Amino acid sequence: MLAILPTFGYKPSTGFTIGATSNLAKFFGDPKTTTISSAVIGFSVSAKKQTSLTLRFGASGKDNQWRLDGDNRFQWTSQDSYGLGTDTAPADGVNTKFTYVRIYDTAWYELRKSVYAGAGFHYSAHLDVRPGVEGDPAWEDSDYVAYSNENGFDLDGQSSTGFSLNLMLDTRDSPINAYRGWLASVSYRPFIRSHLGGDSAWQETSFDVRSYVGVTKDGRQRLAFWVYGDFVASGVAPYFDLPALGMDTYGRSGRGYTEGRFRGERLMYGELEYRAALTRNGLLGMVAFVNTVTLSNTQADEKLFGSFAPAGGIGLRVLFNKRSRTNLCIDYGWGRQGSKGLYLGLQEAF
C-alpha cells in the first residue's frame, strides 16, 4: 500500500514548505496476527532555506516476533535558540543554522504477546553551527553560545553517540491510526564521550504512554491520550540534544509552537485529542486537541511542573488509504504569547 503526496504547508519553524511525502504500508505476515508496518519518506524545502530528507519507519515481522523502529534525518536547517525552561519569550530567540544528522534505530524482540525488549543505536550531530544571519550582533549573547561556553562545547558543532536498552508494551490495533489499545515504552540511553565522535558522556531516560478509547460503539468518535517524559539523568547534554518540544520521532508534539521552542534538562508532555468521522464512508474526519509541556532549568532554579506552556487546535482528516487507515492530516494550533502554526502530514500525530 503506497501513497505519494506532493506536500505544502506552513509552520512557524519553517515558514512555507513544499516537497513530497510517501507512505508505504505493508503486512509482513498474516494480517490477523501481524501488525501493519509503515515507512514515511519525506523531502522538503522551505521559505527559510531549509532542506530536509527524512526516513521514519516502524516494521513488524511475521506474527510480530520482531520489530524495527527508525528515525533518520538529514537536514540543512535552522532553528531559533532559546533559554531553558518555559519562561522564555518569543523575542528571546536567536536564529541558528546548522546541518543536522540523526540516526536513531532500534531493534525489538517479542518476549511474550505484545511485550518487547529492544536495543538501539543513537547518533545525533549538529554541524557547521552558525548564526542564521551572518554578523548578527545577538549571536554572541544567544542562549546556544552561552550554554555551550559554560559547558565546554565547541560552538562550531556538537554530537552525541550512544546506545539504548528498551522495554515496550504495544496492544494497538494499528501504529498508523489506532482505534484501540495501548503503547507504553521506557528507554535508557547512555551516550559515550569520544566514541564515534561523541562530545559528552551523559545519560538519558525516557518513557512514552499512549491510549486510544472509543467514545461511541461504532468507533466513529474516539479519544486519544499521549504522555511522555524525557530526562537528562546525569552528565551534560549538548544544547540541541537536550529534551525539547517538537523533537519526537515524527515532530508532531507541541502543535501550536515551533520545533525547539521550549527546551530543558527534563521535560514532561501531555496531549488529549478528540477524533471523529464526518462522513459515513470515513473519507473526511476532524480532530480537536489540547496539549501542554513543562520543563526544568536548573540554572534558573525552574523545576519541572513549576510552569506550563499550553496549546490547542483543530484539524481536518482526509482518508488517503482505506486499508492502512492512512490520513492526510491538516492541523492548525495556537499556543501562548501569540504562537500559532499550520501543520501538514501523513499519519496521525500519535
Most confident region among 87-96, 276-285, 287-296 by mean pLDDT: 287-296
pLDDT (tens digit, 9 = 90+) per residue, 176-217? 899 999 999 999 999 999 877 889 999 999 999 999 999 998
Nearest to 197 by CA among 150, 159, 254, 145: 159
Nearest to 297 by CA among 229, 238, 243, 258: 243
- For position 24, what pLDDT does the model report? 86
For the residues 239-251, what does the mean pLDDT come to?
A: 92
Domain with residue 244: its CATH number is: 2.40.160.50
The answer to whether the CB of 57 falls within 8 A of the CB of 38 is yes
- For position 343, what pLDDT does the model report? 87
pLDDT grade for 66, boundaries at 50, 70 and 90? very high
User: What does DSSP assign to residue 48?
Assistant: T
pLDDT grade for 341, boundaries at 50, 70 and 90? confident
Of residues 48 and 284, more confidently modeled = 284
Place of cell 515496550: 168
Query: What is the number of alpha carbons within 13 Å of residue 53 lying toward its C-beta?
Result: 3
- For position 21, what pLDDT does the model report? 82
pLDDT grade for 40, boundaries at 50, 70 and 90? confident
- Domain boundaries, position 138: 2-346
- For position 212, what pLDDT does the model report? 97
- For position 194, what pLDDT does the model report? 81
Residues in Cβ contact with 182 at an 8 Å cutoff, skipping those fewer than 6 apart = 169, 170, 171, 172, 209, 210, 211, 212
- Cα separation, 247 vs 120, in Å, equals 18
pLDDT grade for 22, boundaries at 50, 70 and 90? confident
Most confident region among 186-190, 335-339, 340-344 by mean pLDDT: 186-190
- Cα separation, 104 vs 161, in Å, equals 10
> Is 169 in a helix, a strand, or coil?
strand
Number of domains forming the structure of the chain: 1
- For position 9, what pLDDT does the model report? 67
pLDDT (tens digit, 9 = 90+) per residue, 100-121? 999 999 999 999 999 999 999 9
Report the sign of the C-alpha dihedral through residues 236, 255, 303, 249, in that order.
negative
- Cα separation, 115 vs 170, in Å, equals 7
- For position 12, what pLDDT does the model report? 67
